[in-house]
Each structure stands twice: as C-alpha cells, then as structure tokens.
Structure 1
Amino acid sequence: MPLYMDIHNIGGGVSVDDVVKAHMADLRVQSKYDVSYLRYWVDEDRGKIFCLAEAPSAEAAHAVHREAHGLVADEIYQVQEGS
C-alpha cells in the first residue's frame, strides 16, 4: 500500500498533548477508510505536524483527519521509505 506524509501548519504553535489526542482520534476512524496512521512528528514551537500513513490514496488519508478531528493537512505527498 502507498505511503503518504502530510504536513500541518498550526499558527501559534501546537502542543504534543493536543497532537496525541488528534492521533488517537485518527486511530479510531482510520479502518473505515482502509488507512493506517503509522507515526507522527511534532515541532511544537513552529506549529508543524508531520504524519506518516499507509493509505489507498491521499484522499483517503485526508478523509480520516477530516472526520476524526477536522485538522486536515496543508500538504500531502506520496513517499517511499528509505534507510
């Protein structure tokens, strides 16, 4: 299944605690869209959130965020994992 990385830009910064809550909401909804949110990274001071998901499409990954908490990504990219 394709991998997608999305980027959220939250004006004024963001707390890790709020991101944890949003991620938990994603996990409750994701199976409805055949999506699996795998990891996320947060830059609290700059208000940046990066989410990695396996999904059939970018639209499916977007739908999970929209339904789970409404914090849709500003950008989403199909990516390939490297080491």
Structure 2
Amino acid sequence: MTEYMDVHRGMKGITNEELREAHRADQAIEGEEGVRFKHAWADPESGTVYCLSEGPSAEAVQRVHSRTGHPADEIHPVRWTV
C-alpha cells in the first residue's frame, strides 16, 4: 500500500470539531475502497486541510473524500518518510 498526502483548500474557519467530523466520515467508509485514513491537520486561517492516508491508489482516496462531501484538491504519493 502507498501512503498519500492530500490537500483540501477553501476550508477557511474550519473548527477542530468540523475537522474531526470530516475525518470520522472518511473513516466510516474507508474500508469500502481499501483506504485507511491516518491523520488530518488543518490551518483554519488559510483554509487548508491535509490528510495522510494509505491505500491502493490516489483515485481510491479521492472516491472516499468525494463521497463524504470534501473532495481533495491535490493528492500526492508519499514515497519516503523519516
């Protein structure tokens, strides 16, 4: 499985609870696409949200996000971590 970092824009003012709700919504259906959402981070001032996941493809990650109402603007494979 590959790890992916995705970026969501336009979420200015997102609260911690809204981020948690969005993350839980993804986790509720992630298994249907073979994805596992690991972490999410948000900067409410810029409206940028980042999600780290693991899955079979960027398309599978996007399908989950789209079904839960917050499609990603960018999805990047993470090849190495330290």
Bin of the TM-score, shorter chain as denominator length: over 0.9
Q: Which residue of structure 1 lines up, in the alignment, with residue 26 of structure 2?
A: 26
1:51 aligns with 2:51: yes
Q: Could you tell which deviates more after superposition, 30-39 or 5-14?
A: 5-14
Give the alignment of 1:4-23 within 5 angstroms. Answer: 4-10=4-10, 12-23=12-23
Secondary structure, aligned partner of 2:7? strand
User: What fraction of aligned residue pairs are identical, expressed as a percent?
Assistant: 37
User: Residues of 2 paired with 1:64 and 1:30: CA distance?
Assistant: 6
User: Residues of 2 paired with 1:64 and 1:11: CA distance?
Assistant: 18
Q: Which residue of structure 2 lines up, in the alignment, with residue 66 of structure 1?
A: 66
Q: What does the per-residue CA deviation read over 1:1-35, in whole Å, with 9 as the maximum and x for residues that have no partner?
A: 00110000025332221111010000100000000
The TM-score, its normalising length taken from structure 1, stands at 0.91
Structure 2: where are the runs of 5+ without partners? Answer: none
Residues matched between the structures, number: 82
Secondary structure, aligned partner of 2:12? coil
Structure 1: where are the runs of 5+ without partners? Answer: none
CA RMSD in angstroms comes to 1.1
1:2 aligns with 2:5: no
